[in-house]
Amino acid sequence: MRRMSFNNLFLTSMSVFLLITQPNIYAQVDTFEFDNDEQQGRFRQLSNELRCPMCQNTNLSGSTGGVAEDLRREIHRMILEGMSNEEIEQFMFERYGDFIFYRPRLRAETILLWFGPLLFLIIGGFIAYGIFRRANSVDRVTVDLDEEQEAKLNELVGK
Amino acid sequence: MPALFFIALGGLLWRGLYLDTRTLPSMLIDKQMPKFSLETIGGDIVTNEDLPEQIFLLNVWGSYCLPCLVEHPTFMRLSEEGEIPVVGINYKDRNDLAKGWLETNGNPFAYSIEDENGRFGIDLGVYGAPETYLVDSEGVIRYRHVSVLDETVWLEEFLPAIEELRLESN
């Protein structure tokens, strides 16, 4: 029983390791031809960094969706036509908006997305500061003891 | 104060759970329809010049698409009653299958633009059939609905949007 769970754990961690280190093992096999390795590298980079609009959380290279296939074909065409990565990203943005980027552009609409976490961190910082301050400023009360009480106290603390 | 903050944050996140993240906003709202010169599934060449010179619907469909069959009766009714012209885009389909589908189920479209490889769909920002665009008489896209357009969607989304367009142009 114990042995089995160890095996499961081992298999799971191996799979996770493979998933993390080999993001392209599930990439779709397209037979696009390029003039050189640089173009091919850019194709791989773009189709890894752009998100498939249909399938929520798969990049273009990993998606079997119809539209992802079409967009890969368009990227290939644009690379061969000599368009830069920026131009290709602009092409995608004009049609599919911020959603297409895993790393959205910094714009008025995306500013909360970029700096929201920082905002929450600052708010949390203020709250934590408030709590600690209140905890430290608990009123220290001084009480005068009469002789009898003083003797009792000394007895209690073993003086 | 912390309780208030908690409730506010909780409310925000609670709402987030029920937001629709599957429907992408169209980037083409208030933009001119992309230029095209394509064949219809009947083989005629159509361009932007051939679009209806009034408010019309542009419906992206395919014979493989089951939800298209669900919304089909609504488009049949709209076109039979002459409520609004409907132009089709036959998206990533095969010509013979598309024709067969229209024959079997009826043809509500003024014509269907053939977009076999999905290239025109990309210019429109289409990411899957069915999608329906509301286009005004100037050829400007004013609204997009992703997925099935049934009578409820027609009443609740399209009629008010059309009413607004009509008020605007008067």
- The closest of B123, B143, B119, B145 to B132, measured between CA atoms, is B145
Query: What confidence category does residue A59 fall into, taking pLDDT thresholds of 50, 70 and 90?
Result: very high
Q: Which residues of A touch B2 (CB under 8 A)?
A: 127
Q: How far is residue B93's CA from residue B120's CA, in Å, rounded to a whole number?
A: 13
Q: How far is residue B50's CA from residue A152's CA, in Å, rounded to a whole number?
A: 104
Best interface-test mutation with A: which of B27, B30, B115, B131 has the largest number of A CBs within 10 A? B27
Helix (H) or strand (E) holding A101: none
Q: Which residues of B touch A127 (CB under 8 A)?
A: 2, 5
Residue B162 lies in a domain: yes
Residue B17 lies in a domain: no
| CATH 1.10.8.640 residue window(s) in chain A | 2-105
Residue B22 lies in a domain: no
Q: Which residues of B touch A58 (CB under 8 A)?
A: none
Residue B3 lies in a domain: no
Residue B77 lies in a domain: yes
> Which residues have C-beta within 8 Å of that of residue B12, sequence separation ≥ 6?
none
Residue B64 lies in a domain: yes
Q: Confirm if B158 and B134 have CB atoms less than 8 A apart.
A: yes
- Total domain count for chain B? 1
Residue B71 lies in a domain: yes
Reported ipTM: the value is: 0.88
A vs B: CB pairs below 8 A = 47
Residue B51 lies in a domain: yes
CATH 3.40.50.1980 for domain A2-105, yes or no, is no
Mean pLDDT of chain A: 85
CATH of residue B141: 3.40.30.10
If you average pLDDT over residues B127-154, what whole number do you get? 95
Q: How far is residue B141's CA from residue A90's CA, in Å, rounded to a whole number?
A: 20
Q: Which residues of A touch B22 (CB under 8 A)?
A: 56
Q: How far is residue B137's CA from residue B165's CA, in Å, rounded to a whole number?
A: 10
Question: What share of chain A has pLDDT > 70, as a percent?
Answer: 85
Q: Classify burial at B41, counting beta carbons within 10 Å of its beta carbon; exposed 0-12, middle 13-18, buried 19 or more.
A: buried
Q: Which of A67, A93, A95 sits opposite B123 (nearest CB)?
A: A95
Q: Residue B126: which domain range?
A: 27-169
Render pLDDT for A13-23 as a digit per residue (tens, 0 to 9): 777 776 666 55
Q: How far is residue B79's CA from residue B88's CA, in Å, rounded to a whole number?
A: 12
